[in-house]
Structure 1
Amino acid sequence: MEIEKRVVELTDRLSYIKDIFGGRENANIALMQARLDEFAVREREASPGERAQMVRQIEDLFDFLEKKLDDELVPMDMVRIVRHPARISLKDILENVYDNYTEIGGQDEYSIDPSMLIARAYITRRHGDKVVNQPVMVIGQEKGHGQEFRNGGSVKPWGNAKALQYMKVAETERIPIHSYVFTPGAFPVEDYPGAAQQIARNLYEMGGLRVPVVSIISEGGSGGAEAIGLSDVRMMLSRGYYSVISPEGAAAIEAGIRQGQRVVPELIAECAKRLNITAADNLRMGYIDKVLEEPALGARPHHYDFFKTLRQEMIQATDQVFLGIAGFKLFRALVASRRKGGDPESMFVRWTLDEDAADRLVWKRYCKYRRMAETAFRDGRPSGERIASRAKSLVWSGYSFIRYDFVRKHTKALAKAATDLEAELRLVAHKLTAPLRRQDKNAPVVCDPAKSRMLTELSQPEQGACLEEFGWRYVSPKAAEDRAVTCPGAKTYGCPDLWAPDLYGDFAGVCVNCGHHFPMEYEWVLGNVFDADSIVEYDNDIEAGNPLDYPGFEEKLDAAKKKTGRKSGCVSLDAKIDGIKLVSTVLYSAFRGGSVGAAEGEKFIRALARARRKHYPFLAYVHGTAGIRIQESLNGLIQMPRVTLAVRRYIEAGGLYVVLYDTNSYAGPVASFLGCSPYQFAVRSANIGFAGPGVIKETTGVDIPPDYHQAHNALARGHIQGIWDRREIRKNLKQVLLTIGGRNLYYR
């Protein structure tokens, strides 16, 4: 019976190997199959001792050949490893790494989403003669143990919302968080709270968590991975992958495949290689801190030694985070940083931190992500200009500190005291003059028109561009076309055809019958919303590049630069709206679909820093974005947490951050640094969401309604706070700046 069991195990091992090699012919695999076939023929005539001997020989051969095969793995093989049902899952880790745990949060679809597993666990360690149970919050996607129930680790918005809830619980309880990334990507539904807006909310809140976060990546698929992956220490399993898009998705884009067509396996494998998705690639690019070596051909539940190693690595990483921000550490930090292969439980580190240590933790987290992808874009400025720019930034920072942090601090204190004193004196004067007022109570009341206007000035600002006025400074080139244009709402609302010069000229691309907004160039907003001659552009030499030497992409970038006359898909500028100064960035669709890569992320971060130094409001005008630039892979994906941390720093400094969506805005930017704004608005007829209709159909098999991504649905679920007519953008932005921000960034 024992021999039969061992033969079954060998057969399963061979089947696993064939699965991960995707049916490729391999001499070693053929040899393993031949030895099993030979045993099946010879076992009938062999004695029990001979059968045992043959099985031992085959097991030794398998062990030897598996190590050889492990060296032959290509990136697509690693993708198949992490997707295989035999792969370790989060429940295996909970059972074998932690000393005890309790799963929390419920199991039903709308309570936690079974794809997201949350557990309160502890690790037992010795402190002298004492036994200490150190608590930890474990959060991660679960793919195994009922795969049909877990949705393959593809988490729905409410699952990510529950993860965020328990991250905040961990922060309240002052315990560290261990996150495990086992997801092919988030489930692309916009049902409340919405995939994009929830991931953005997770990223924003994780950036400011005042407890350490240590993460392990096995399968890191795009935004779904980022939803719980922003951490102080990021490690990756050696046979895992971390990517902006699946190899199949990249291949479909490269081949121009339409729905229902299939991509050849060779192109999929080539895209897996081009995207630099392996642990070694990510370590080289600086997006993870360490690679955890797995057994040959990937870790599976029976690899108990691997779980022991994983436990030691998680303890050591958590120790290092606490020691890195501790006030008194001396030799322990040195020992922890040099400890290799030793027992991390031999040295005790208390997993607690005070307020000062928490402040240092959040700052180090920001600096960690700020340094990422700094070499993935091109900066065409001469060295002298860079030095001058840096010096100018330092001068502005000094000026800002003196004016706002020092002088204004004391001025506010004096103003507060003066206001309180004035209020007291007014009350006394009111009491003393009460008899005189009684004599004049029958006098007629005279209304001052000027004062009445002052009282309603904010709610009725001076009219700029409005529905009744034409005379736009910028007119679309499409207004020069002598043709009729049919409105998409003609069948529903009976809209008459419009003459192009009227539609794109006087009417600003808006149907006068139903209000449908036709797409317009981003220059329309620059020319008609901001004050004339107030726009000053900067950082124009920050250039989109090809950091992975992705085949054929350099030519596509050159074509985009020639077409648009710009070097990236982001325009950074200072401007004014009716005299109110602000900093703005524009993501425009003409440059590679408005996709975001390292250059666009860097420009966004620098613009936020500029607004913070100058104490100006910040406007992100999204003329259109197709998401993260896949040819940059992780260099693009890392912009999601990287820019979100910069947004958080700006908002926490008191900044007013406003986002305005136009045309079509999807994927990573919406699910991160755009979607985390508390003040988001959309131009009418805009589409906003996590994934386009084609991607949703491809990943879920669901046909969505035609209006699924329209702005009114985003408004209904709370993603945006208002829908604007294009002709009223200037008036509405001024209203926002006056009522929410005022003329200075420090509006609170």
Structure 2
Amino acid sequence: LHQVIVIGHEKGHGEEFRNGGSAKPWGNEKALRYMRVAETEGIPIHFYIFTPGAYPIEDYPGAAQQIARNLYFMSKLKVPTVAFISEGGSGGAEAIGLADIRLMASRGYYSVISPEGAAAIEGKLKEGERPSRELLEFCARQLKITAEDNLRLGTIDRIVPEPPLGARRYDYQFFKRLRYEMIRATDEVILRTKSLKAFRSYALKRKSEEENPPDEFDIYVRWELSEVEIEKLLDLRSKKYRGMSRHVLGLSKRCLKDYFEKTQDVGLRLYHDLRYGLLKQGQRVIQRMIEDLSGEGAAFLKQLTEPIKSAYDLLASKPRRTRAKVVAEETALIDLPELYVSPLALEDRTVTCPNAETHGCPDIWVPDLYGEFCGVCPNCGYHFPLEYQWYLSNIFDAKSVKEFNEDIEAGNPLGFEGYDKKLALAKKRTGRNSGIITFQARIGGISLICAMLIADFRQGTVGVAEGEKFIQACDRARITKRPFLAFVHTTGGIRIHEGTLGVVQMPRCTMAVREYIDAGGLYLVVYDNNSYAGPVASFLGCSPYQFAIRSTRIGFAGPRVIRETTGEDVPPDYHSAENALRRGHIQGIWDRRELRKKLYEAFLSMGGKNLYYR
């Protein structure tokens, strides 16, 4: 008899509290709570995914933030996990979808967005306007949402056959098959971690070829793992998700370059482990010993000399003078020369601040606003959007920005009709190959690794290329023991034209972040302008240190999506940085003009002893 914890979506018709399977933030928090129970008791988990998507509200714990917490925890969950997808709606499915084996119903769907949502974007429809049937069918085909599509893309592991019209409540033969497949998948996950497994693995493989599942299993696999087996389980899970979707990038074709980069990574790892690991650890031990001896000696001498000193002061009758302590000023942060001038500053006109009616702000001359004022209203502090080039030139030390992985470029892995032209236009207009820039830089002499999502390239949306670049930047920060900064100039979510290959970047990147933080890294996220959807609900929202530039908007879904999903309107400031701070989603709001200083202070005061400069 095996024990298992079951976590899944309830999708009843007519039950209002179930929201048609759309879990609210506290529903996903409940799922996380029982994942912890399963880990404590060492019980495997079976996830049943049947949701059109998460319910888009920002109330604590927050739709995006709770999905990010779930993914972060599931990436290193110390028990076997198996997921079955019937209806997989984007981030809502990922909230309980990071599993060791992912099964899918043959008549189900798994998608980055609903065909209706994709049609509204592709057709540029106004709010309330309904897409045509032809456009809906076009988007449904292009998104590759079926079980066969996802199996071919590698986002699921196996398909569970359903009746021709899909499974119904009384299809007992289907549920018998499903039970068999879930148990078999759990056995497979367990056996992968075992050293003695050859005959049982072969027997399980032969049983999978049978049309009718047996009533009882004649192969026994104990669902318990030792510490060594748990480590292997986590390693296999990491490799599974890190390898997911990489095949579409064509990285295997760069054999010589890949070999050189792997050799370089091994060299970097050995160098930094030796310099900042072994040698620095020994240095710290000696330093602590010297400090302890010095402190003990000073305390002992003070006990001996204090009575003599007190008697002398009494006899001499001289007032005790305290010497003023002079604290040296930090000279690391010096003002940078103006290296970048915004093109907006060249326009001879005035603009009106959005807060003019409520705060009485006068019109601002554009050359002053985008020059001396750094895009900030001098009266109320409203932050106008600025180009990402401004940050590259004014936040990091001069000539310290060195990009890497520029050759990894965004593509059209689904063959989405008409998308190649849009992608080529974005590349030509921006001179970039993807929506993310990864680079090494310095702030006040402190070396760091940065991944910057930029608005200019497809609104900073994340696809396979962006996910791969983020993961490699995260790995470089881990190897070199550098702090890792994710600067979100803007992100519009997961790129819908890449389908579920884009969706799986959520667990992939979160896995890399978890491994970086577990290795002792310092991961900071700074939001600017607009930050929404999948990235916030995964590898950005799981950071322990999240900050926003003033006037930023942060959320899971935009106001239009919320209105169309919930039927309720939201106030204009619903996604404001101030409200995100009140809800506990971020830890602070920074002024753009002080961003360089704030980051420098954060690198000095946050993070553990594993950073190279500690």
Tell whether the structures are fold-level matches, with TM greater than 0.5. yes
- Alignment partner of 1:676 is 2:542: yes
Equivalenced residues, count: 606
- Alignment partner of 1:197 is 2:65: yes
What is the CA-CA distance between 1:699 and the residue it aligns to?
1.1
Q: Distance in 2 between matches of 1:151 and 1:482?
A: 52
The counterpart of 1:667, out of the listed 509, 529, 533, is 533
Q: Distance in 1 between matches of 2:203 and 2:283?
A: 49
Q: Distance in 1 between matches of 2:278 and 2:201?
A: 36
Please report the TM-score for the alignment, with normalisation by the length of structure 2. Answer: 0.95
Find the counterpart in structure 2 of residue 614 from structure 1: 480
Equivalent position SS for 2:3 = strand
Q: Which amino acid aligns with 1:168?
A: R
Q: 1:627 to 1:503 in 2, by over 3 A?
A: same
- Alignment partner of 1:267 is 2:139: no
What is the CA-CA distance between 1:269 and the residue it aligns to?
1.4
Q: 1:743 to 1:300 in 2, by over 3 A?
A: closer
What is the CA-CA distance between 1:377 and the residue it aligns to?
2.9
Q: Which amino acid aligns with 1:305?
A: Q
Find the counterpart in structure 2 of residue 555 from structure 1: 421
Alignment of 1:11-160 (within 5 A): 132=1, 134-144=2-12, 146-160=14-28
Is contact 1:191–1:717 with CA below 8 Å preserved after alignment?
yes
Find the counterpart in structure 1 of residue 223 from structure 2: 351
Q: Which moved more, 1:487-496 or 1:436-445?
A: 436-445
Q: Distance in 2 between matches of 1:437 and 1:339?
A: 89
Equivalent position SS for 2:84 = strand
Alignment of 1:670-709 (within 5 A): 670-709=536-575
Equivalent position SS for 2:571 = coil
- Alignment partner of 1:290 is 2:164: no
Q: 1:559 to 1:380 in 2, by over 3 A?
A: farther
What is the CA-CA distance between 1:356 and the residue it aligns to?
1.9
The counterpart of 1:445, out of the listed 321, 339, 342, is 321
Is contact 1:482–1:500 with CA below 8 Å preserved after alignment?
yes
Task: Give CA deviations for 1:675-725 in whole Å, capped at 9, x if unaligned.
Answer: 100001100000000001111111111111000001001111111111011
Q: 1:588 to 1:743 in 2, by over 3 A?
A: farther
Q: Distance in 2 between matches of 1:230 and 1:172?
A: 19
- Alignment partner of 1:515 is 2:391: no
What is the CA-CA distance between 1:746 and the residue it aligns to?
6.2
Q: Distance in 2 between matches of 1:327 and 1:449?
A: 65
What is the CA-CA distance between 1:433 and the residue it aligns to?
3.1
Is contact 1:378–1:599 with CA below 8 Å preserved after alignment?
no
Find the counterpart in structure 1 of residue 593 from structure 2: 727
Q: Which moved more, 1:387-396 or 1:662-671?
A: 387-396
What is the CA-CA distance between 1:379 and the residue it aligns to?
5.4
The counterpart of 1:631, out of the listed 488, 494, 497, is 497
Q: 1:482 to 1:655 in 2, by over 3 A?
A: same
- Alignment partner of 1:221 is 2:221: no
- Alignment partner of 1:397 is 2:397: no
Task: Give CA deviations for 1:409-450 in whole Å, capped at 9, x if unaligned.
Answer: 444444444444444444333333333343466652332433
What is the CA-CA distance between 1:260 and the residue it aligns to?
1.0
Find the counterpart in structure 2 of residue 301 from structure 1: 169
The counterpart of 1:600, out of the listed 466, 475, 479, is 466
Q: 1:580 to 1:747 in 2, by over 3 A?
A: closer
What is the CA-CA distance between 1:747 and the residue it aligns to?
8.4
Alignment of 1:390-469 (within 5 A): 390-439=262-311, 444-450=320-326, 453=327, 464=334
Q: Which amino acid aligns with 2:448?
A: L
Equivalent position SS for 2:370 = helix
Find the counterpart in structure 2 of residue 505 from structure 1: 371
Q: Which amino acid aligns with 1:216?
A: F
Q: 1:335 to 1:642 in 2, by over 3 A?
A: same
Q: Distance in 2 between matches of 1:627 and 1:551?
A: 21
Q: Which amino acid aligns with 2:371?
A: G
Q: 1:336 to 1:405 in 2, by over 3 A?
A: farther
Q: Which amino acid aligns with 2:300?
A: V
The counterpart of 1:537, out of the listed 373, 384, 403, is 403
- Alignment partner of 1:367 is 2:227: no
What is the CA-CA distance between 1:173 and the residue it aligns to?
1.0
Q: Distance in 1 between matches of 2:469 and 2:325?
A: 47
Is contact 2:78–2:234 with CA below 8 Å preserved after alignment?
yes
Equivalent position SS for 1:543 = coil
Is contact 2:507–2:538 with CA below 8 Å preserved after alignment?
yes
Q: Distance in 2 between matches of 1:337 and 1:167?
A: 29
- Alignment partner of 1:736 is 2:599: no
Q: 1:336 to 1:382 in 2, by over 3 A?
A: closer
Q: Distance in 2 between matches of 1:311 and 1:523?
A: 55
What is the CA-CA distance between 1:178 and the residue it aligns to?
0.6
Task: Give CA deviations for 1:265-308 in whole Å, capped at 9, x if unaligned.
Answer: 12111211111111111111111111001112111111111111
Find the counterpart in structure 1 of residue 354 from structure 2: 488
Which has more radius of gyration?
1
Q: Which amino acid aligns with 1:157?
A: P
What is the CA-CA distance between 1:743 and the residue it aligns to?
9.3
What is the CA-CA distance between 1:744 and the residue it aligns to?
6.2
Is contact 1:595–1:629 with CA below 8 Å preserved after alignment?
yes
Q: Percent identity?
A: 56
Q: Distance in 2 between matches of 1:368 and 1:382?
A: 21
The counterpart of 1:388, out of the listed 230, 235, 260, is 260
Q: Which moved more, 1:218-227 or 1:420-429?
A: 420-429
Q: Which amino acid aligns with 1:267?
A: L
Q: Distance in 1 between matches of 2:566 and 2:75?
A: 30
Equivalent position SS for 1:433 = helix
- Alignment partner of 1:318 is 2:186: yes
Structure 1, gaps ≥5 residues long: 1-131
Q: Which amino acid aligns with 2:507?
A: P
Q: Distance in 1 between matches of 2:405 and 2:385?
A: 27
What is the CA-CA distance between 1:246 and the residue it aligns to?
0.3
Find the counterpart in structure 2 of residue 24 from structure 1: none
Equivalent position SS for 1:525 = helix
Find the counterpart in structure 2 of residue 578 from structure 1: 444
